[in-house]
């Protein structure tokens, strides 16, 4: 037999082997498949071709499959997921059978930059982190410190920047403004140090850019086979090169802050209450609680930064886009503030409400909830099953099964929110008696559910309402004509091209 004959025979054998493997995989794995599975590439081609509209596309696909289905990744990549947006399944996994569904080693490897912090930890390390942060967040001194920090940042930075933009009449990326504002805030709250990213000259800050880059690279790890990003990491090319550079910048910054804080604390006597009250940032509090190694502190700081910076930026950006494009909602928010407080500008804090005052703004709270329903800052979550189980939807879960649930899609389910689920309608959150309507956390999933419910939920609402009330009371935000808002591809749901607006002072 000549070379051509050998090649033809080899090709036929290979094709037959692929067909056998394909049929075998189909019998084992394709229970309610979300897409057509192709040999070798699995279902990944569908995702890659629709990556530009990933969130909306996944919503449509899951609705066609009753809310739950299987995604089969490329062969031999362990990218297989049971994907669900069924609230009963989430309630089962996040609450009823919480201990059976963990983050898992695969998740920790993808989110390597988070270290062993609260977002990636399981079991006892997670419980220790949660109990520690819970004790810090619930202190009255911390709430006072948070309020003081926000008031100070609004007066020193936000007002000058917004006034300058009004005077210039120029277009600005409001998401960038919020990004800088929340970055300065989280630096002050966690580290006790304000880097002044938000100023009229909009300076470049390497550490702020490094956080954005790291999050985009982490999303990349979610959508390509592990072997691809592992090879890129080994060769230091593509996204993994950017990841390495971003993490190096972040670690240098965080470790420098830890060293500086240790030096500062060595100058104070722990039993002097006045000094303790002056240093209630979270890093100081962590160091005073007990002796922690630098790695623990580094991971804690990184996780707190992601939790308190990008999520608030995302929430405020989508909220202002929705309000700016729904003038009736804006009018109702302004009317509520006027009814509750009259002329807010007569306040000594330049119209910035305090913690107790923002709790009275029911309609504003409903508008923020509605924004979070449609655009949750964290658009997807993953879990891994420790033991075999059966979900309420009837789907069988084997030990080691990876589960993906899509928060973005859940806000667009008619069975939960009604036929008007795509509308921005704050009224759905307000009862006939004028209070906030309670929605179970496994349906309104923006702050997670069960034992892992976000510890900073109340603090997040306080920050968002303080900032939103101040800006809406003093300025009018107008979206630039022709601007199209689109979600970014990242682990945090930011706007792809920012939020382009013009800022004008509101006439009183």
Detail the residues annotated as belonging to a binding site for heme: 454
What is the rounded (10 degree) CA torsion for 345, 346, 352, 353? -120
Q: Which residues pair with 382 in a beta bridge?
A: 404
| Structure letter (DSSP) for residue 465 | H
With beta carbons less than 8 A apart as the criterion, state whether 319 and 364 touch.
Answer: no
How many CA atoms lie less than 13 Å away from 358 in the CB half-sphere? Answer: 23
How many CA atoms lie less than 13 Å away from 348 in the CB half-sphere? Answer: 1
With beta carbons less than 8 A apart as the criterion, state whether 332 and 370 touch.
Answer: no
Quote the CA–CA distance of 125 and 355 in Å, as a whole number.
32
Q: Which residues pair with 404 in a beta bridge?
A: 83, 382
| Structure letter (DSSP) for residue 157 | I
Q: What is the DSSP string of 159-198?
A: HHHHHHHHHHT--EEHHHHHHHHHHHHHIIIIIS------
342: three-class secondary structure by DSSP = coil
Going by the annotation, the residues of the binding site are 454
Q: Which residues pair with 384 in a beta bridge?
A: 102, 402
The pair phi, psi for residue 167, each rounded to 5°, is -65, -40
Quote the CA–CA distance of 175 and 166 in Å, as a whole number.
17
- Among candidate residues 334, 333, 487, the one with its CA nearest the CA of residue 411: 487
Say how many C-beta atoms besides its own lie within 10 A of residue 66's C-beta: 13
């Amino acid at each position: 037999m000549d070379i051509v004959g050998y090649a033809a025979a080899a090709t036929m054998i290979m094709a037959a082997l692929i067909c056998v493997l394909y049929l075998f995989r189909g019998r084992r794995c394709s229970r309610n498949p979300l897409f057509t599975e192709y040999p070798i590439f699995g279902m990944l081609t569908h995702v890659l071709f629709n990556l530009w509209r990933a969130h909306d596309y996944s919503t449509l696909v899951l609705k066609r499959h009753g809310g739950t289905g299987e995604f089969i990744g490329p062969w031999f990549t362990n990218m297989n997921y049971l994907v669900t947006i069924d609230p009963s399944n989430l309630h089962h996994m996040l609450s009823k059978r919480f201990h059976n569904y963990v983050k898992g080693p695969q998740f920790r490897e993808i989110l390597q930059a988070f270290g062993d912090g609260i977002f990636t930890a399981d079991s006892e390390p997670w419980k220790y982190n949660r109990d520690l942060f819970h004790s810090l967040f619930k202190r009255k001194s911390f709430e006072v410190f948070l309020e003081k920090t926000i008031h100070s940042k609004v007066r020193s930075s936000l007002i000058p920047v917004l006034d300058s933009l009004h005077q210039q009449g120029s277009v600005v990326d409001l998401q960038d403004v919020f990004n800088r504002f929340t970055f300065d805030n989280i630096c002050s709250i966690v580290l006790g140090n304000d880097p002044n990213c938000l100023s009229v000259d909009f300076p470049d800050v390497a550490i702020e850019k490094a956080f954005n880059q790291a999050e985009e690279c982490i999303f990349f790890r979610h959508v390509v086979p592990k072997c691809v990003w592992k090879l890129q990491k080994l060769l230091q090319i593509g996204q993994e090169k950017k990841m390495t550079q971003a993490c190096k910048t972040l670690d240098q910054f965080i470790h420098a802050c830890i060293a500086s804080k240790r030096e500062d604390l060595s100058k104070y006597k722990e039993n002097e209450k006045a000094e303790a009250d002056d240093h209630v940032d979270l890093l100081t509090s962590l160091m005073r609680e007990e002796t922690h190694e630098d790695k623990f502190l580094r991971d804690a700081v990184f996780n707190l930064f992601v939790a308190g910076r990008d999520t608030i930026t995302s929430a405020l950006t989508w909220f202002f886009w929705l309000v700016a494009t729904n003038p009736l909602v804006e009018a109702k928010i302004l009317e509520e503030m006027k009814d509750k407080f009259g002329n807010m500008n007569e306040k000594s804090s330049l119209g910035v409400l305090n913690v107790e005052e923002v709790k009275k703004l029911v309609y504003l709270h409903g508008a923020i909830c509605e924004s979070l329903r449609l655009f949750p800052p964290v658009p997807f979550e993953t879990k891994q099953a420790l033991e075999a189980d059966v979900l309420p939807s009837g789907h069988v879960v084997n030990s080691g099964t990876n589960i993906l649930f899509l928060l973005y899609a859940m806000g667009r389910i008619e069975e939960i929110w009604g036929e008007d689920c795509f509308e921005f309608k704050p009224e759905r959150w307000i009862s006939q008696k004028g209070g906030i309507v309670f929605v179970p956390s496994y349906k309104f999933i923006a702050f997670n559910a069960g034992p892992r419910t976000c510890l900073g939920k109340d603090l997040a609402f306080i920050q968002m309402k303080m900032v939103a009330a101040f800006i809406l009371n003093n300025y009018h935000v107008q979206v630039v004509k022709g601007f199209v808002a689109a979600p970014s591809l990242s682990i945090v749901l930011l706007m792809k091209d920012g939020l382009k607006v013009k800022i004008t002072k509101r006439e009183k």
